[in-house]
């Protein structure tokens, strides 16, 4: 037999043997579906879990962004500058702290001072101006210790101007001046007062001269001497007539009496007060002019009191503040837009929860904050609601903003948290220690609506009535009131699949589902 013939016969034999082996094995192999179809159903039985002793707690969990509190944008009022408002220095760095009375920025070589207050700047304050912005300024200056006046007085007065000048001395800048025009007005008013004082002095001197009269002391002596001489002549004439009546003439006595009367009249006339009505009127007019000049000077000096320009002050609430962002640099123009954004010095976490969860929270509730490095710190719920959550209406519908303030942080923790999104857990209710608890699915409702559990005892089960407490994390607190229930007892939570497939104990399974749902809703 040739080699080719032998090869053909070998291949034929191998094929026949392989066919026979395949037919034999096909009778031994069973497919999974055939095996399942030929298998008998397992024995039906309850599904049970043990009664546990555990601590139950309900938590509200949210994620929030870590930011510094109360961020605000800072703008500078430049309307009173009368020219371009250019940043010339004092640009702060991000992270810098802004204290009350510190310089935020330098614009056109002048400082922009930060003061505590809520009312924004809307005008320059100067002597005589009155309003709530003046009261705010006085209160801010008093907090800085540079003002000792009455903070209830709404008028910008000399004490206020002096305190503003002291503030500028504190920050190291010259106090604002009223301008050259007002300074010239003050000088003119001072010159007017000097002229009025000189006019009043001259008028009073003229009045004094008129009141003294024309006669001086020598004249009065001469007139008195004439009276005395006339009296002596009269006495001698009378004496001569008495000693020699024959030679006496009555006309001589009459002439001597007339001379005496004339001398007395001249003396008395010289002693009378002169008419000074014109001089008195001149003095009155001069004094009135002096008072008007002094009033003009007071007004001019009031106008020249140190003002507080609107462009040199910014009011911020809750100081100190932290600089979060600076939007201008040296040489930039300030055109009514924000120059920087600042926030409070305290970190806070802002997030949202559902309106339903928000009802469980209250300000002052403790919280647990998970830091980016995995560690945890305590915190406090600062506010619930109040501000509308950021985002579009569809995203924020049914949501409430919640603010949480973390407790004490290290500098490393503060740096790690800033700008991060963290997880916050707020416990809202818990049991007082560990309690007996079963899954919610273990509860069924009795004929009267009472809650009960089915306890497996060997191969039999017993229904035990229970009262329920807090439900949390799929478990509910239970206390037996009709029977006994202890840790480790096994309670039925359902039936295996075979029993359900055959329709066994359908009523019990449906009852368990209904009871669990009702109780969970009531207690949760």
* CATH number for 402: 2.40.30.170
- C-alpha 499/C-alpha 488 separation (Å) is 25
Assigned domain for 67 exists: no
Mean pLDDT of 30-36: 58
Per-residue pLDDT tens over the stretch 192-208: 889 889 888 998 888 88
Winning range, highest mean pLDDT, from 105-114, 208-217, 288-297, 303-312: 105-114
- C-alpha 507/C-alpha 498 separation (Å) is 15
Assigned domain for 81 exists: yes
Position 500 scores a pLDDT of: 45
Do 393 and 468 have their domain in common?
Answer: no
The model's confidence at residue 524, banded by pLDDT at 50, 70 and 90, is very low
Length of the chain: 524
Domain range for 151 is: 76-178+305-337
Assigned domain for 227 exists: no
CATH number at residue 439: 2.40.420.20
Assigned domain for 323 exists: yes
Dihedral over Cα of 229, 235, 238, 240: its sign: negative
Q: Is the pTM of this model over 0.85?
A: no
Do 174 and 310 have their domain in common?
Answer: yes
Q: Identify the helix (H) or strand (E) that includes residue 477.
A: strand 475-482
Higher confidence at residue 466 or residue 524? 466
Cβ distance 306 to 282 under 8 Å?
Answer: no
Higher confidence at residue 9 or residue 176? 176
Instruction: Specify the number of domains making up the chain.
Output: 3
Which of 430, 459, 476 is where one domain is finished?
430
Burial of 238 (C-beta count, 10 Å sphere; 0-12/13-18/19+): middle
Assigned domain for 243 exists: no
Cβ distance 353 to 402 under 8 Å?
Answer: yes
Assigned domain for 64 exists: no
Which of 317, 337, 357 is where one domain is finished?
337
Do 311 and 450 have their domain in common?
Answer: no
Which of 404, 430, 456 is where one domain is finished?
430
The model's confidence at residue 237, banded by pLDDT at 50, 70 and 90, is confident
Assigned domain for 295 exists: no
Dihedral over Cα of 405, 422, 54, 491: its sign: positive
């Amino acid at each position: 037999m040739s080699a080719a013939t032998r090869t053909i016969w070998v291949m034929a034999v191998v094929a026949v043997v392989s066919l026979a082996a395949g037919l034999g094995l096909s009778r031994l192999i069973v497919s999974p579906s055939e095996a399942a179809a030929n298998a008998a159903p397992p024995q039906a039985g309850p599904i049970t879990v043990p009664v546990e002793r555990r601590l139950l707690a309900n938590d509200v969990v949210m994620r929030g962004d870590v930011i510094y509190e109360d961020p605000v944008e800072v703008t500078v009022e430049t309307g009173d500058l009368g020219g371009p408002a250019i940043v010339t220095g004092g640009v702060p760095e991000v992270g810098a702290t802004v204290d009350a009375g510190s310089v935020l920025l330098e614009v056109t070589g002048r400082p922009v001072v930060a003061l505590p207050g809520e009312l924004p700047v809307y005008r320059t304050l100067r002597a005589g101006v009155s309003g709530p912005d003046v009261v705010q300024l006085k209160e801010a200056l008093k907090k800085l210790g540079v003002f000792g006046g009455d903070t209830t007085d709404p008028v910008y007065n000399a004490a206020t101007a002096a305190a503003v000048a002291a503030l500028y001395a504190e920050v190291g800048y010259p106090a604002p001046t009223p301008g050259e025009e007002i300074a010239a007005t003050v000088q003119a008013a001072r010159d007017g007062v000097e002229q009025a004082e000189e006019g009043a002095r001259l008028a009073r001197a003229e009045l004094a001269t008129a009141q003294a009269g024309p006669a001086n002391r020598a004249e009065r002596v001469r007139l008195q001497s004439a009276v005395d001489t006339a009296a002596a002549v009269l006495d001698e004439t009378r004496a001569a007539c008495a000693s020699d009546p024959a030679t006496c003439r009555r006309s001589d006595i009459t002439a001597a009496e007339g001379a005496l009367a004339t001398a007395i009249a001249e003396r008395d006339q010289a002693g009378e007060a002169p008419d000074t009505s014109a001089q008195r009127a001149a003095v009155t007019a001069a004094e009135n002019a002096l008072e008007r000049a002094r009033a003009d000077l007071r007004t001019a000096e009031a106008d020249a009191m140190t003002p507080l320009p609107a462009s040199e002050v910014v009011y911020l609430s809750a100081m100190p503040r932290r600089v979060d962002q600076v939007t201008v640099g040296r040489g930039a123009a300030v055109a009514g837009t924000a120059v920087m954004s600042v926030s409070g010095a305290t970190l806070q976490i802002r997030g949202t929860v559902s309106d339903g969860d928000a009802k469980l929270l209250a300000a002052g509730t403790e919280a647990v904050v998970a830091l980016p490095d995995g560690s945890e710190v305590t915190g406090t719920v600062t506010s619930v609601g109040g501000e509308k959550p950021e985002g579009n209406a569809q995203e924020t519908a049914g949501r409430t903003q919640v603010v949480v303030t973390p407790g004490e942080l290290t500098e490393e923790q503060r740096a790690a948290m800033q700008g991060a999104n963290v997880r916050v857990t707020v416990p809202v209710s818990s049991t007082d220690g560990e309690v007996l608890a079963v899954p919610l699915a273990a509860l069924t409702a009795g004929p009267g609506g009472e809650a009960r559990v089915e306890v497996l005892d060997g191969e039999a089960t017993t229904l035990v009535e229970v009262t329920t407490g807090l439900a949390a994390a799929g478990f509910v607190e239970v206390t037996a009131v009709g029977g006994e229930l202890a840790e480790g007892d096994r309670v039925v939570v359902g039936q295996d699949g075979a029993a359900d497939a055959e329709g066994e104990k359908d009523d019990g399974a449906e009852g368990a589902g209904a009871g669990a749902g009702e109780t969970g809703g009531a207690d949760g």
